């Protein structure tokens, strides 16, 4: 007899299952499938992400050990590593990409009023890419260098809640700046980028939408000063100027004014030069916004450490992209749970608690309240030194 829902089943209740079925129907994911459906595949891979499973055999072993509880979690088919491997290899990875986009919209609505440290009315995005190294003999389709394969995660992060709003998975040879051609630019939003994205033709297209950008200038960027504005040098600012491109090609690619701000980072003892088409923001706010770009670096570091995206359960392009998109869905699901349950715990703490209590039968709110509880006896107890003579 089943007394209450398992933690895994309660976590899955936050998923929009109707939207998932629509994504499956869009790409005919369950065509001629008898038992192990796309939803079963998603549950197996989500379980592997939550509990950090090492391999397909590891997934099969753990789930079969809990065979009596799987039906109540939503599993309809028998879990087998060969069946899961075939599903990852053959079922269209775009099913899980589209479903992740559904979760992205849900998460962005929940975090729309989140404060990221700077009070602005505009939506602020940070754009960057991260490389995942692969073995050339195992992943020959992910071309990078002559002796190495790799894939790149091109990510656009909404700083309100650190929600990835756009992710593109390419082979390692694709340059970061090419993603600007496929990126949907929101009108009035601010895009923060590193100097690897400095391409005046593409930046001018962003300016024409109109949207705003803040980007670091390269050392050889040719600009001509028109006039300077007053600044307060005590806060690290060195100049705030209105400039125009002076190079032969850059004048053609960007036939408009730009704003150049030089800021001295006293902590790292280096000078930074920013270019932006936003002329109303205070110059110090521009520098602070660029500092927030590091949140996308922290996002890459977080998912690489706490989700399974550095080693893969399959070797084909379809299997790799399926695993990454389901990992992103798990990240978004944890963020949605945190907001809807109004938890003060970090995403890391929530994920760790879920990884150890997946098949426990306990209400979620009580589970996370126990995580915040402190034992008053041990908190104030003076431990003995084991090495006292």
Q: Where are the domains of the chain?
A: 7-95+319-366, 114-300
Distance spanning both ends of the chain, measured CA to CA: 56
157's CB contacts (< 8 A; 6+ apart) are: 125, 126, 127, 128, 163, 164, 165, 295, 296, 299
SS (H, E, C) 98-138: HHHHHHHHHHHHHCCCCCCCCCCCCCEEEEEEEEEEECCCC
Compute the distance between CA of residue 192 and CA of residue 214 in angstroms, rounded to an integer. Answer: 5
- The predicted pLDDT at position 327 comes to 96
Check whether 311 has a pLDDT greater than 60.
yes
Residues 262 and 237: beta-carbon distance below 8 Å: yes
Tell me the three state secondary structure of residue 18.
helix
Predicted confidence (pLDDT) per residue in 66-123, tens digit = 888 888 888 887 889 999 999 999 999 999 999 999 999 999 999 998 888 888 889 9
Q: How far apart are CA 379 and CA 389, in angstroms?
A: 25
**How many Cα atoms within 13 Å fall on the side-chain side of residue 10?**
20
Residues 224-282 pLDDT 10s: 999 999 988 888 899 999 999 998 899 999 999 999 999 998 888 889 999 999 999 99
Q: Number of C-alpha atoms within 13 angstroms, CB side, residue 43?
A: 26
Q: Is the pLDDT of residue 387 over 80?
A: no
Give alpha helix (H) positions in the chain: 7-12, 17-26, 38-51, 56-65, 67-73, 81-90, 94-110, 200-208, 248-253, 283-291, 294-306, 317-340, 347-356, 364-372, 376-379
Rg for the chain (alpha carbons), in Å?
24
d(CA 167, CA 283): 30
Cβ atoms of 14 and 333 within 8 Å: the answer is yes
328: helix, strand or coil: helix
Return d(Cα 242, Cα 233) in angstroms, integer.
18
- Inter-residue contact 76 to 356 (CB < 8 Å): no
pLDDT value of residue 3 = 56
How many angstroms separate the CA atoms of 55 and 69, rounded? 21
Residue 308 has pLDDT above 60, yes or no: yes
The C-alpha atoms of residue 363 and residue 342 are separated, in whole angstroms, by 15
Band of pLDDT at residue 372, cut at 50, 70 and 90: low
pLDDT above 70 (res 371): no
- Can you spell out the DSSP letters for 245-304? E-SHHHHHH--S-EEEEEEEETTTTEEEEEEES--SS-HHHHHHHHHTTHHHHHHHHHHH
For residues 204 and 254, the answer to whether their CB atoms sit within 8 Å is yes
Q: What is the mean pLDDT of the chain?
A: 90
Dihedral angle over CA of 206, 211, 215, 217, nearest 10? 60
- For residue 255, what pLDDT is reported? 94
pTM over 0.85: yes
């Amino acid at each position: 007899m089943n007394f209450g829902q398992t933690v895994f089943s309660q976590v899955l209740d936050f998923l929009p299952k109707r939207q998932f079925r629509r994504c499956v129907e869009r790409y005919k994911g369950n065509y001629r499938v008898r038992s192990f459906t796309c939803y079963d595949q998603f549950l197996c891979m989500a379980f592997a992400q939550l509990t950090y499973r090492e391999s397909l055999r590891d997934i099969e072993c753990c789930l079969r050990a809990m065979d009596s509880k799987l039906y109540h979690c939503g599993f309809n088919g028998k879990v087998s590593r060969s069946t899961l491997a075939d599903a990852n290899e053959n079922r269209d990875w775009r099913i899980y990409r589209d479903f992740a986009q559904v979760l992205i919209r849900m998460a962005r609505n929940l975090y729309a009023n989140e404060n990221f440290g700077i009070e602005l009315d505009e939506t602020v995005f940070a754009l960057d890419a991260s490389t995942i190294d692969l073995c050339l003999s195992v992943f020959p389709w992910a071309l990078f260098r002559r002796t190495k394969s790799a894939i790149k995660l091109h990510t656009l992060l909404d700083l309100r809640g650190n929600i990835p709003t756009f992710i593109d998975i390419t082979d390692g040879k694709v340059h970061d700046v090419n993603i600007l051609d496929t990126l949907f630019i929101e009108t009035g939003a601010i895009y923060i980028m590193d100097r690897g994205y400095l391409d005046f033709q593409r930046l001018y297209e962003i300016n024409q939408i109109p949207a705003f950008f803040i980007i670091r200038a390269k050392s050889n960027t040719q600009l001509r000063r028109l006039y300077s504005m007053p600044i307060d040098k005590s806060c690290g600012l060195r100049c705030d100027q209105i400039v125009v491109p002076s190079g032969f090609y850059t004048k053609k690619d960007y036939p408009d004014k730009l704003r150049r701000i030089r800021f001295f980072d006293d902590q790292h003892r280096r000078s930074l030069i920013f270019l932006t088409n936003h002329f109303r923001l205070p110059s110090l706010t521009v520098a602070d916004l660029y500092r927030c770009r590091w949140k996308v670096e922290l996002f890459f570091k977080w998912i690489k450490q706490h989700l399974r995206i550095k080693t893969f359960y399959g070797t084909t392009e379809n299997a790799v992209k399926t695993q990454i998109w389901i990992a992103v869905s798990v990240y978004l699901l944890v963020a949605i749970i945190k907001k809807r349950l109004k938890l003060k715990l970090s995403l890391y703490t929530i994920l760790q608690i879920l990884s150890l209590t997946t098949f426990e039968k306990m209400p979620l709110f009580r589970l996370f309240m126990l995580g915040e509880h402190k034992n008053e006896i041990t908190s104030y107890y003076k431990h003995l030194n084991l090495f006292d003579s």
